[in-house]
Amino acid sequence: MNSFSRPQGRWGAAPRGGGVVETIRCGLFFFVLFLSILACAQPAASQAAAEYGKAASAAASAASQAKPAIVVASPSPTKKPGSKHLPQGLQPKELAEENRRAFLENAGEQPAVVLLRSEPGGAQVWMDGKVVGETPLLLVVAPGAHVVELRGARHSRARQGIILAPDEKKEVVLSLKTRYPSQVQLH
């Protein structure tokens, strides 16, 4: 080997010595690569912005061409005489009171009386699919088969079928299991 020849490294290439010039070239290469990536990403962002603008413009155009909604007034919440349907627009307590009156009116000459209780108390009472109040509740109904359902705010529902004879007095007590705890303990 003479003094003018370069030392040969692996595969005949000059070994990397880690000199200042080589470091600058490498840094310059990565800087140019980074700028190239940024330059390529810019058109993609511009394309996304253009597509969004087109979609927003189309939506605004469709909204401006939409016809206004026509609102039809609903009939007043008055009850027709002899109607089996309850008035609309009643609050839950008013609706329960109306349903209790309907059960009393349809009870006949020999009504049955049922006392409905729940454990825990305060459950909403439904009789034959109609809300009638909260437990404890004394209800006058027509004799025959009925379905009682109790619904608690944080409790499971309980349902039971009952058969009442004329002039019968019956007490129904249903237990409701807790669905949601009232307190949470962290350990």
Least confident of 116-120, 130-134, 152-156: 152-156
What pTM was computed for the model? 0.48
For residue 174, the cross-strand partners are 118
Residues 141-179 pLDDT 10s = 999 999 999 988 878 889 999 999 999 999 999 988 887
For residue 113, the cross-strand partners are 140, 169
Backbone Cα Rg of the chain: 41
Mean pLDDT, range 34-47, rounded to an integer: 64
Q: What's the rounded Cα separation, in Å, for the pair 111 and 113?
A: 7
CATH code for residues 92-175: 2.60.40.1120
Helical residues (DSSP H) of the chain, grouped into ranges: 20-65, 92-105
Where is pLDDT greater, at 90 or 184? 184
Quick one: which of 97, 151, 155 has its CA closest to 124? 151
Contact 141, 162 (CB under 8 A): no
Residue 15 has pLDDT above 60, yes or no: no
Tokens for 54, please give them. 């087109």
Q: What's the rounded Cα separation, in Å, for the pair 29 and 6?
A: 24
Q: What's the rounded Cα separation, in Å, for the pair 38 and 4?
A: 43
pLDDT of 13 reads 54
Highest mean pLDDT among 35-44, 89-98, 102-111: 102-111
Mean pLDDT, range 86-100, rounded to an integer: 73
Instruction: Sketch the domain layout of the chain as residue ranges.
Output: 19-61, 92-175
pLDDT of 116 reads 92
Quick one: which of 65, 86, 66, 64 has its CA closest to 77? 86
